[in-house]
Structure 1
């Protein structure tokens, strides 16, 4: 299955395989909560407990994939489903509740999964794939991963890293959105699908791989930039036009060797967590 995910899941199988990968992560939790848990959350979704998040959720609904017909208007079916998923999740996990970015993750899930499966996908991503602090109010886990990524960046692409460091720019303010939104609205849709196929199969480690691969593939043009605005514009254009998904996957999994093992990444995460 790993090889198929890296090569791209055939469109006719994507929904089923995504669902299987997600439920493999949370089958124990789903069994513990019971068959009617999601329906129970929906009936309580307007409880005062989620009132704090409801306003922001409603504001973000129409900001989510506005060019996609499923989410293009207030009465679109996708908007109704997205609202249900986000409200249910904020009730399920009040320690996270809602933060901007979850709307994009949930909407991506809804393109391939029904409402309840999309809810469980959001649970799996926030509670199983990532550390519990990843999406907390301080984005603690996400910021730790940026420290780890900057370290990898300096080791794998030292020349480009040194060039970027010349600018008065905190590069993690760019790349943190790649991680939090799982590359949604960063790369073209077909490229995004391949990243998600790999992510759901292999976990967050692939986000480091794809981030470094993007930088490596565009190192030459990025090195030509002489001011920070030019660098930012160039990077945005490079990612938006990243249509060579096979080349990106080849770089991510074949041209970054040796790549840190999963336990090495975990060790670095724990190191930065203690700082």
Structure 2
């Protein structure tokens, strides 16, 4: 709450969250959120309808309030998993709302907007970083015609929620709140670098996709302390200036493509 700026926002806007829930509700927004309720952590007992309390209600409230707070975003699939994780950890709707705002509004702008331009841009940025740091993998992806969006979109959209073990995800999120979006690139690059030989064994586009699913499993990602050390050492230098430059060129390319 402190490092993300969420606490400051909450302190400066007392009662704002509850006022959002008491206002006029957008029926389309409600329907979109309700559709995803049963798809959010269906195996977690705290999100099942028989739970007491059932966190589905808290999740619904946080997403509904956020949709009315940030009209440019509304609700986008993937936000349910992020808000759900925040509720599981904080056990507090208002804190979860402000943490979600820190992520969606400031740390990851345009990831969840209708065009998802920020998300698409960062997937392309990862491709450029791999081209520089792990050229053999980039050549393989090009050779099989596999776009980066096909293999890493879930990593970016859900911030590794349904890819990595929970303890590891929470450690990654700590760094994300503290240091910003470049942590996502560090995690992705480390996963690819660690499993480079395995990925290079792919013989088809389908095989590439399957190998990318496999590299998020196993002891490398479950031993979260070691994993976190690796994400700060393995990718090497990764300055925000470099990322900003790549974002600019990748965004321009995407906009030119329409």
Using structure 1 for the length normalisation, give the TM-score.
0.84
For each residue in 1:48-100, what CA deviation from the matched residue of structure 2 results, as whole angstroms up to 9, or x when unmatched? 4x212211211111111111111123765210100000000011111100000
Instruction: Tell me the equivalent position of 2:17.
Output: 38
Q: Helix, strand or coil for the counterpart of 1:240?
A: coil
Instruction: Tell me the equivalent position of 2:95.
Output: 117
Match of 1:135 among 112, 135, 138: 112
* Map 1:1-275 → 2, pairs under 5 A: 19-22=1-4, 24=5, 27=8, 29-30=9-10, 34-44=13-23, 47-48=24-25, 50-73=26-49, 77-113=54-90, 114-131=92-109, 133-241=110-218, 242-257=221-236, 259-275=237-253
User: Superposition RMSD on alpha carbons, in Å?
Assistant: 1.8
Mapped partners of 1:63, 1:104: distance in 2:
9
Q: Helix, strand or coil for the counterpart of 1:260?
A: coil
The offset of 1:158, in angstroms, is 0.7
CA contact (8 A) 2:159 2:184 kept: yes
For each residue in 1:95-138, what CA deviation from the matched residue of structure 2 results, as whole angstroms up to 9, or x when unmatched? 1000000001100100111110000111111111122x221101
Using structure 2 for the length normalisation, give the TM-score.
0.90
Mapped partners of 1:239, 1:92: distance in 2:
34
The offset of 1:229, in angstroms, is 2.0
Mapped partners of 1:268, 1:140: distance in 2:
14
Mapped partners of 2:50, 2:182: distance in 1:
36
Equivalent pairs, count: 249
Residue segments in structure 2 that go unaligned for 5+ positions in a row: 254-258
The offset of 1:244, in angstroms, is 3.1
Q: Which has the higher contact order (CA 8 A, sep 6+)?
A: 1
Mapped partners of 1:228, 1:170: distance in 2:
10
Mapped partners of 2:204, 2:18: distance in 1:
53
Mapped partners of 2:99, 2:46: distance in 1:
18
